[in-house]
Chain A
Amino acid sequence: AVVSTQSGHYGRGKDEGTTVSPKKHTMQPIVTGTSVLGIRTKEGVVIAADTLGSYGSLARFRDIQRLMKVNDSTIIGGFGDYADFQFLMKLLRQQTIDDEVVGDGVYRDAPAIHNWLRCVLYNRRTKFNPLWNTIVVAGKNYGGEPYLGYVDKIGVAFEEKTVATGFGSYIALPMMRKAMDENPDMGVEEAKAVLKRCLRVLFYRDCRSLNRFQIGVVSAGETSISEPMSADTDWSIGANPSGYE
């Protein structure tokens, strides 16, 4: 939504006196990232995002990192305006350094980071100057239990077994939920396979996606983000569409 560009000003008219109207900010995301997907299994959490930064309809930056390893307990994925995500990544990076210099090996866990993001994003929305992002927080808590959270630009925040942003919430989320319902005890490798399937469908259907993505895992043994990979695609059904002649 585009809001008025008038900055805060004192009333000009005779009867307006010294009243001030709130400052409004034109907000539109510029370079954007598309869907981020996440599945929480008993073994650990898996998160995925492609490596595309779109400039409107132009697939402009095809090798950006939309997944960030915050510390050994958390990986976040950013959807929406990439500059705002870079800003959040910078703040989180500094937080991790601040944790490190204490020197006791204790770092903020995933629920802490999720809550911090919620506070920041809600606060910005209240000031009518949102960070135009939806962030997926994948990680574990201090007890080592898997944690998956979602927080968006209006400050909505929740924890779930499966989360997705943007197009993913329409196309991938039902697929992920079905997979979890049929196999609630799935492990990390199976979850990765589910995500790859979803990412392939998203590449077919989301015009702002790219067939080059990364998958991040947070489990007891590892916290890492993979090298970029691609899904095999089959466009043969596209040869004979009907109704578009």
Chain B
Amino acid sequence: RVAITAGEYKSYLRMSSIGTGYDFSAGQFSPDGRVFQVEYAQKAVENSGSVIAVRGSDGVVFGVEKIITSQLYEQGNNRRVQSVDDHIGGAVAGMLSDARAIVARAREEATDYRDVYQVPIPLKMLCERLGHYVHLYTVYGGLRPFGVSILLGSWDELNGAKLMEIDPSGSARGYYGCAVGKGKQNAKTEIEKLDMTKLTCRELIKEVAKIIYSVHDEVKDKHFELELSWIGKDTGGKHQIVPKDLYDEAVKYAEEALNDSDDEDNVM
């Protein structure tokens, strides 16, 4: 029999990130200053299919690894990239139904801003409002946090491309390149290799597709659908799903890159 002291047990808990006793509600802190409910919400995001977004010289490109759990699903359903107003695009990772609620709220905020100020809402203002909203769900015992990370991007002539991420804790951060979900570590490594500020959206579409294909785990999740969307100079500042011809080109580029790297592995 192995007996451990209470102190040893507590330090085990601290390391293993189980918050037993301090994780019942978002209204509680743990002794080491963590809100476990928010961390658990972040885990929901980590278990979702990868989502990456990259900010280029003339726009933002979103790519989503949409894992298909059944061949019975209609293709193109359960879109992970959504438009908020017509000039902001969003890609979501985590619990899809929570994501819908956040996107609906974002749309309301955008509508309200447009109503009052007669101009489309700037991305920064939207993220402030949305971050505040998500944060709201992390301070009350009676509510649970959103298990969603949302990546939002926009482009306009005056301000150029902008990309921000809101995570379950409600913090909104600006990025040049961002990845969330299953393959985020690998994706981040790949994104760092890109010289994003010099690449245009057209080039980035192919790179994003390549990264998604490379971080996709063939063993664990057999089938996936790649969702690509963009917003930038080429779309006139409107968020759109990438048109079929560019999409096919990107997929081809991604598959070829995958085959090349497979060949490299075989040679070694």
Contacts and interface: CB of A to CB of B under 8 A. Distances in A.
Nearest to B84: A101
User: Which of A90, A98, A101, A103 has the most B CB atoms < 10 Å from its CB?
Assistant: A101
A97 B86 contact: yes
B114 A94 contact: yes
Contacts of B241: 103
Interface string A147-168: 0000000000000000000000
Contacts of A101: 82-86, 107
Contacts of B82: 101, 103
A100 interface: yes
A65 to B, nearest CB: 14
A103 B79 contact: yes
Contacts of B85: 97, 101
A243 B238 CA distance: 61
Contacts of B86: 97, 100-101
A113 B5 CA distance: 73
Interface string B138-157: 00000000000000000000
Nearest to A91: B115
B120 to A, nearest CB: 9
Interface in A66-115: 90, 94, 97-98, 100-101, 103
Nearest to B114: A94
B80 to A, nearest CB: 12
Q: Is the interface of A mostly helix, strand, loop or mixed?
A: helix
B111 interface: yes
User: Which of A90, A97, A98 has the most B CB atoms < 10 Å from its CB?
Assistant: A97
A227 B21 CA distance: 70
Interface in A99-147: 100-101, 103
B250 to A, nearest CB: 19
B114 A103 contact: no
A100 B231 CA distance: 14
B111 A94 contact: yes
Contact of A90 (B79, B84, B115, B238): B115
B200 to A, nearest CB: 23
A97 B111 CA distance: 9
A101 B110 CA distance: 12
A206 B107 CA distance: 45
A67 B52 CA distance: 42
A168 B90 CA distance: 48
Nearest to A100: B86
A82 B82 CA distance: 35
Contacts of A100: 83, 86, 238
A45 B27 CA distance: 61
User: Which of B86, B115, B238 has the most A CB atoms < 10 Å from its CB?
Assistant: B86
B107 to A, nearest CB: 6
Interface string B241-257: 10000000000000000
B83 A103 contact: yes
A101 B229 CA distance: 13
A94 B79 CA distance: 22
B156 to A, nearest CB: 16
Interface in B111-130: 111, 114-115, 118
Nearest to A90: B115
A100 B86 CA distance: 7
A35 B3 CA distance: 92
Nearest to B87: A97
Nearest to B85: A97
Contacts of B83: 100-101, 103
Nearest to B111: A94
A98 B118 CA distance: 16
Nearest to B107: A101
Given A103-B82, A103-B83, A103-B241, 17 more contacts: A90-B115, A90-B118, A94-B111, A94-B114, A94-B115, A97-B85, A97-B111, A97-B114, A98-B107, A100-B83, A100-B86, A100-B238, A101-B82, A101-B84, A101-B85, A101-B107, A103-B79
15 contacts: A90-B115, A94-B111, A94-B114, A97-B85, A97-B111, A97-B114, A100-B86, A100-B238, A101-B82, A101-B83, A101-B84, A101-B107, A103-B79, A103-B82, A103-B241
Sort A-B residue pairs by CB-CB distance and give the 5 closest, nearest first: A101-B83, A100-B86, A97-B86, A97-B85, A94-B111
